[in-house]
Each structure stands twice: as C-alpha cells, then as structure tokens.
A = this chain, B = another copy of it.
Amino acid sequence: MARLESSNPALKLWVVLARAHAAIAHHAESDINRHGLGLAEFAAMEVLYHKGPTTLGEIQRKILISSGGITYVIDRLVQKALVVREACPSDRRATYAKLTAAGESLMDDIFPAHEARLLRALGGLDAAEQAAAVALLRQLGKHAAAVPDDGE
C-alpha cells in the first residue's frame, strides 16, 4: 500500500522506501506465484528450508503473520504435501512444521532462480552502494522498531 504525497521533505524517505519495497516485492511475488505459491507460503517454506523443523509460533514471528494466519498457511502447505506437522516431544502445546521430500525438492528447484531474480531487481546499486544502503536501513529499521507504539 502507498503513500504520502510528500508535503514534508523528510517524509520523502518514507515514500521512496515504500516505492522501492513495492517494486522489489513485486518481483519476489510474481516469481513465487508462477510456482503456485503465495508470498506467505513461500516465506514459511523458506524458514523451514534454511532452519529445518520449526515451531509454528517461531515461523509466525519470523514472517510477521498473525496467529490464525500461520495455521492457515501451514494447512495449505500440508494440503499441497510440501510440509508436515510433527508433535514436539518436549512441549506438547507446540507443533513443528517440516518440509517433506517434495517440499525440499521444490525449494531446490525454485530457490536459485528466485534468488537470481531478486539479485537482478537489486542490481540498481553496486556493491559499495548496497553496503551503504544496508547500514542506513538497518539503523532506520532498528530505531523504528524501538520507537514506542503510542496507540496500543
């Protein structure tokens, strides 16, 4: 969703951040959709692909989705036989999700091209500029996350 029409010059940063995010997210999403997956489904699978079996709650926090949402996403992945649920022996409230062989192999298939596509989308900056942008965005994000929430 977008954005402030920059009356205030400092808000320009928010506008341009939102636009850059949207443009890159568009590439991520359009690539993922080609494989019949939604962004949230892919994000969940990616966690499992890189971290191995993970509790639903942990995936939820990582991909910034609601509590009901993670159940729904995992349900769909289970239906597609890409993921299975597994009981957690040490805490019977918790449930692990883990990739099936099919899920693993799907990620093997699509992840490299996905990564390449993102790198192409990010290619507007050279390595030095990327490093500078990372430093600035990290600082920006860290501060924003720390600012108290006023409304809640």
Known: A21-B18, A27-B144. A122 touches B34 (CB 8 A): no
B-side contacts of A39, CB under 8 Å: 1
B-side contacts of A123, CB under 8 Å: 143, 147
CA distance A30 to B149 in the complex (A): 8
CB of A88 within 8 A of chain B? no
How many chain copies does the complex carry?
Answer: 2
B-side contacts of A137, CB under 8 Å: 13, 16-17, 19-20, 133
B-side contacts of A12, CB under 8 Å: 134
CA distance A150 to B31 in the complex (A): 8
Interface CB pairs A-B, < 8 A, 21: A1-B39, A2-B43, A3-B62, A3-B63, A5-B46, A5-B51, A8-B119, A10-B119, A11-B122, A12-B134, A17-B20, A17-B133, A21-B141, A23-B141, A23-B145, A27-B144, A31-B150, A31-B151, A125-B140, A133-B136, A133-B137
